[in-house]
Amino acid sequence: MVIVDQDENGNGTVVEINEDNNVAIAPGSLKFAPGFTTLPNLRSCNLGFKSGIFDFSGYEDLVKTAANQQVFFYESHENAETDYNPITETHQYHAVATPKEIFVRVENEDCFSITSFLLDTKNCPPTVYNAVSPNGDGLNDTFFIDGLRDIFLNFELFVYNRWGILVWQGNNNTPDWDGVTTKGIVIKGNDVPAGTYFYVLELNDPDYSNGMSGYLYLSK
């Protein structure tokens, strides 16, 4: 609070009687959070129960908008905020379940920003290995189809002999075929003879409505 006392010429003298309402102003500068580029989501082949391997090592440079920025990746928003336990294996990151959100901390010398992207899996086409030799040597002892089990959970697999007779049927809950009959006119539990057999694989997946079919050769 101030009081102004004027003399006869109109000149005023300011007297301050309250020191509590003074405001001090000092020079300063604003700190800005760093900018970033929005990152696209990533998809990889389902390795089983929606797990997958992902490579987002290139995202470190992609997300930057300035050369002096530093970039770190985290499995949770809380970890990104506190800079705790960053992901180190960005070129071969194993997500045990998807979809999974990855958080990105972008730092400059003053502050940081947080963005994120999603990891997801898709059911890639299975690979059929059509040579079977059930002799117990550990090589091709069963009819193996890579990328099938625990991925196409509702698949059905049928094996026929050269006359079109069903000799084996399996699914995600049965072991791979080892040349022993479970269906057809041949007595169940018997070993089938060496020769060419034919398979029909119903994936029961909306992306693979036609399924797969082909032949395999069983040797003794």
DSSP secondary structure code for residue 41 in this structure: P
* Structure-block tokens of residue 169: 């049927």
Output the CA–CA distances (angstroms, integers) from residue 3 to 7, 17, 22, 56, in the order listed.
13, 8, 15, 69
Taking 60 as the threshold, does the pLDDT of residue 14 lie above it? no
- CATH number for the domain harbouring residue 173: 2.60.40
More confident residue, 1 or 92: 92
Q: Within a domain: residue 6?
A: no
Domain-terminating residue out of 107, 122, 137: 122
Q: Is the same domain home to 187 and 132?
A: yes
Q: Is the same domain home to 132 and 208?
A: yes
Q: What is the pLDDT of residues 37-83, one digit of tens each?
A: 999 999 999 999 999 999 999 999 999 999 999 999 999 999 999 99
- Number of structural domains the chain divides into: 2
* Structure-block tokens of residue 14: 């300011």
Q: Is the same domain home to 157 and 181?
A: yes
Domain with 53 in it: 42-122
Domain-terminating residue out of 94, 122, 150: 122
Taking 80 as the threshold, does the pLDDT of residue 204 lie above it? yes
Q: Is the same domain home to 118 and 129?
A: no
Q: Is the same domain home to 114 and 138?
A: no
For residues 205 and 190, what is the distance between their CA atoms, to the nearest angstrom?
Answer: 32
Taking 60 as the threshold, does the pLDDT of residue 138 lie above it? yes
Q: What is the pLDDT of residues 141-188, one digit of tens each?
A: 999 999 999 999 999 999 999 999 999 999 999 999 999 998 876 666
SS3 197: strand
Q: Is the same domain home to 51 and 84?
A: yes
pLDDT band at 207 (very low <50, low <70, confident <90, very high): very high
Segment 196-206 shows an average pLDDT of 98
CB atoms within 10 A of CB 125: 12
Task: Supply the pLDDT for residue 2.
Answer: 43
DSSP secondary structure code for residue 180 in this structure: B
Domain-terminating residue out of 76, 96, 122: 122
Q: Within a domain: residue 1?
A: no
Q: How many helices (H) and strands (E) does the chain have?
A: 2, 15
Q: Within a domain: residue 55?
A: yes
